[in-house]
Structure 1
Amino acid sequence: MAALSGGTGWRRGWLPALQLVRRGSKAVTRHWKAMHFQRQKLLAVTEYVPPRPAVPPQCLPRHADPTHEEDGYVRLLKRQVQEVFQKSRMVAVCQYNSMPNEDVVTMQHYLRKHNIEVKFVLNEIVRPVLAQSKYRNLLPLFVCRNILLVSPETRAKEMLRVLKGVPQVNLLGACIDDTILSRQGVENFSRLPSLETSQGQTVGALALLPSQTCSLLQRGPSLLTALLDAHIRRLRDTGTPGEPPQQQGTGSH
């Protein structure tokens, strides 16, 4: 109590709970500094670049989920594609590039004049249908945005004439009368004559051979007959051997 009663004693034994100590402030010497240009170039050159895939991901086939059930609209589109390949004698696969709607309508108009229809299809719909049919060899053609030019007749010449004025549509191949043709094959097919002309040429070629055979068979007897006739005429002119020559008549005795 004596220690606490004195003014100097209790101040000497008491320690404050909070002490404010002022320390010397240190100057900030590190400031932002731009990276050297040579170092920037070195980092840019040595930056890791992952290798690009050989085939773009959008070109790889999409594997359907086995647990996913197709809706009715997808089944309807697949059924329409099957009917197109079954009812059309000519199905041409073309690569379609972007073009104005007016040009698309004009192209459809000129093709429709030759009984050729334009079908816009999706690869996701066409590829599964072709994979299970006899047209599976057409699958490599469906790798981009494609359209189908279908017709119940073989109008290859008219189709090529219309596509010649539409550079945005490139012919890749076709299936004509259940025969798969390339672009060059379609061009060769368009140069062939019509069916009526081919049938007439075939009939003429078949009729020519019998006529030549008949003429060859008749040539020998005809030549022999001509030789015999010439020999008989010569004998008549010179007289028959062994026969006395005819005497000219004289006056009466």
Structure 2
Amino acid sequence: MAATLCGRLLPKQGWLPLTQSVRHGSKAVTRHRKPMHILKQKLMAITEYIPPKPAAPPGALTPRVKPVQEESGLVLLLKKDLQTMFQDCKMIAVIQNNATNSEDMLLLKHRLHKHGIKIKFIPNQVMRSYLADSPYINMGPLFIGQTVLFVSKEPKVKEMLLSLRTSPQMVLLGACIEKILLSRQGVLNYAKLPSVTVVQGELVSGLTMLTSQTASMLQHHPAHLSLILQQYLKQQAPAGSTNGTPGESPPKAEETA
């Protein structure tokens, strides 16, 4: 009987009880770390040690030397032509060529040749390299894409614009007229100006008008004074006198007979 009681009361091997003991009590205290003050953070960031970078051994890094390309004889010849063109020509216009065929280009050359205007084709690379060392460096941004030059020794802007009206593929970008750089709107305004002969005629007429007015104003006072004196002499003379001298009477008819 005792064996049966012990077998019932004692737990069997591998058997878990239905109830488990749980510890009830105070929890463990965990201390939280305080954040660092902002001023201390800044000070630590400033005074942080930065180790120097290891220097490269001598001869490990060789400097890259760009090879200098010498300009060809054709480029030098084109630059020389550009220099003489800027010295001799008073009008150099930059035109954008938007796929103009050969026939239209030939007709445009013929129309411009009547007014003494020539068309020149110069590569943009050569043009920009020449303008970089010249006083006309501000013309460099105009040479983008397919461009041509309209060159003439005299500033024939009106004739050039009339010729461009028949060729819509050719667009005016800017020009250098009499050593002055002009935009497209500046070229249009320049074309509206009168010619030099008209301006000189207007200037001469204005000067002559001013001189004539000055001379008339200077002669006005002496003439007016002489008229006043003549009127005064007429008033001082007696009523019967016909001559200009006072006190003399006209001769009688008998004496004259």
Task: Report the TM range for the smaller structure's normalisation.
Answer: 0.5 to 0.7
SS at match of 1:153: coil
SS at match of 1:118: strand
Q: Does 1:210 align with 2:230?
A: no
Segments ≥4 residues shifted beyond 4 Å:
237-240
Q: How many residues align?
A: 183
TM-score scaled by length of structure 2: 0.64
**Superposed displacement of residue 204, structure 1:** 2.0
Give CA-to-partner distance per residue, 1:46-66, whole Å, 9 cap, x none.
xxxxxxxxxxxxxxxxxxx65
The structure with the larger Rg is 2
Q: Distance in 1 between matches of 2:192 and 2:238?
A: 65
Q: Distance in 2 between matches of 1:185 and 1:211?
A: 38
Give CA-to-partner distance per residue, 1:160-206, whole Å, 9 cap, x none.
11011111111111111111112222222222222222222222222
Q: Distance in 2 between matches of 1:176 and 1:131?
A: 19
**In the alignment, which residue of structure 1 is the partner of 2:195?**
194
Give CA-to-partner distance per residue, 1:120-175, whole Å, 9 cap, x none.
12110100101111111211211222110000111111001101111111111111
TM-score scaled by length of structure 1: 0.65
**In the alignment, which residue of structure 1 is the partner of 2:129?**
128
166-175 vs 178-187, which moves further: 178-187
154-163 vs 69-78, which moves further: 69-78
**In the alignment, which residue of structure 1 is the partner of 2:79?**
78
Q: Structure 2 matches for 1:47-62, cutoff 5 A? A: none
> Structure 1 counterpart of 2:174, which letter?
G
Q: Does 1:89 align with 2:90?
A: yes
SS at match of 2:204: helix
Contact persistence 2:100–2:170 (CA under 8 A): no
> Structure 2 counterpart of 1:84, which letter?
M
Q: Distance in 2 between matches of 1:233 and 1:75?
A: 92
Root mean square deviation of aligned Cα: 2.6
**Superposed displacement of residue 230, structure 1:** 2.2
SS at match of 2:95: strand
Give CA-to-partner distance per residue, 1:41-88, whole Å, 9 cap, x none.
xxxxxxxxxxxxxxxxxxxxxxxx652222212222222222221221
**In the alignment, which residue of structure 2 is the partner of 1:170?**
171
- Report the CA distance shift for 1:100/1:234 in structure 2 as closer, same or farther (over 3 A): same
Q: Distance in 1 between matches of 2:141 and 2:221?
A: 63
SS at match of 1:171: strand
222-231 vs 163-172, which moves further: 222-231
Q: Which runs of 5+ in 2 are unaligned?
A: 1-65, 242-246, 253-257
- Report the CA distance shift for 1:118/1:225 in structure 2 as closer, same or farther (over 3 A): same
> Structure 2 counterpart of 1:156, which letter?
V
> Structure 1 counterpart of 2:129, which letter?
P
**Superposed displacement of residue 207, structure 1:** 2.3
Q: Distance in 2 between matches of 1:175 and 1:237?
A: 82
- Report the CA distance shift for 1:237/1:90 in structure 2 as closer, same or farther (over 3 A): farther
- Report the CA distance shift for 1:209/1:70 in structure 2 as closer, same or farther (over 3 A): same
- Percent identity (aligned): 43
**In the alignment, which residue of structure 2 is the partner of 1:58?**
none
SS at match of 2:201: helix
